[in-house]
Amino acid sequence: MKTFTLFLFTASLLLAACGEEGSPEPAGDGVVTELTGKLPPRVELPEDLRGALAGKRVVILVGDGFYDPELYDVRRLFTEAGARVYLAGDSKRIAGIGGGVPLLDLGLEELTGLDGVDLLYLMQSKGMEGMAFFPATGTAIGKVLDGGGYVGASGIGVLAFLQGDRARGVKMAVYKGQRKRMLEGGAVAVEGSDLLLDGRIGTCEFWPQGPRLALALIEALAARS
């Protein structure tokens, strides 16, 4: 009897949890990993931005240990905006926290040879801090910025290289506790978001802010088009 009562109590808790706002739901490609837990409200692309990046090239650079739901959501937003989305990374390192292994379009070496990139999105991961210092990554960032494109980075650690000579004086803005390290000039808060944009570089501190950063960059790029 005690066992049956415990079963009913546990079942009632599970049913109550499933009904709570923010309970697990498919993210992006419909994948929810066992490590996801409760997901924040899904970031939706406004109707007026659907197809707004048609003809634009977006590269998402991921490293080993990226957070699967962030990749799915960010890629979904860029795709819904009409962009041609490429996934780039080091195939020997790449695997998500939830076990996902995406099919890459580009290796790090190929990334530097891709012309006409309108937006480069760097995704934080346990291996990305090291990847940020790979010559190919710095070359790609410089190429995108020199070509008038935008750069976004989810995660503060990945931006370390932007503070050195490789940034060639590029201004940046950072999230929350790191704001004291902001360089002077032009940073504006994005309404309804925890991120800052400075010029053509947007940053945020890891998922779940990542999709909101992607949306802000889509808005900025669409407004310029």
In terms of pLDDT, which residue wins out, 141 or 181? 141
Structural domain of 145? 51-224
Where residue 54 falls among pLDDT bands split at 50, 70, 90? very high
- Please check the confidence at residue 94 and state whether its pLDDT lies above 80: no
Inside any domain, residue 13:
no
Inside any domain, residue 55:
yes
Inside any domain, residue 169:
yes
Inside any domain, residue 97:
yes
> What is the DSSP code string of 11-27?
HHHHHHHHTSTT----B
Residue 91, Ramachandran bin (φ over 0: left; ψ between -120 and 50: alpha; else beta):
alpha
- Please check the confidence at residue 156 and state whether its pLDDT lies above 90: no
- Report the domain count for the chain: 1
- Please check the confidence at residue 178 and state whether its pLDDT lies above 60: no
Inside any domain, residue 154:
yes
Inside any domain, residue 38:
no
In terms of pLDDT, which residue wins out, 124 or 178? 124
Inside any domain, residue 11:
no
pLDDT digits (tens, 9 = 90+) for 67-78: 777 888 899 999
Average pLDDT (54-67) is: 84
> What is the DSSP code string of 115-165?
---SEEEEE--TTHHHHTTSHHHHHHHHHHHHTT-EEEEESSGGGGGGGSG
Over the chain, what is the mean pLDDT? Answer: 65
Distance CA 125, CA 155 (A): 8
Most confident listed range (111-115, 148-152, 220-224): 220-224
- Please check the confidence at residue 212 and state whether its pLDDT lies above 70: yes
Indicate the pTM of the whole model. 0.68
> In terms of DSSP bridges, do strands 150-154 and 188-189 run parallel, antiparallel, or are they unpaired?
unpaired
Where residue 50 falls among pLDDT bands split at 50, 70, 90? very high
DSSP-derived secondary structure letter, 106: B
Predicted pLDDT at 143: 80
Average pLDDT (6-17) is: 39
94, 107 contact by CB (below 8 A): no
Q: What is the CATH number of the domain that holds 82?
A: 3.40.50.880
In terms of pLDDT, which residue wins out, 220 or 107? 220
End-to-end CA distance of the chain: 68
Inside any domain, residue 164:
yes
The full 3-state SS of 167-186, as one line of letters, equals HCCCCCCCCHHHHHHCCCCC
- Please check the confidence at residue 7 and state whether its pLDDT lies above 50: no
DSSP-derived secondary structure letter, 190: P
| Rounded (10°) angle between helices 209-224 and 68-80 | 20
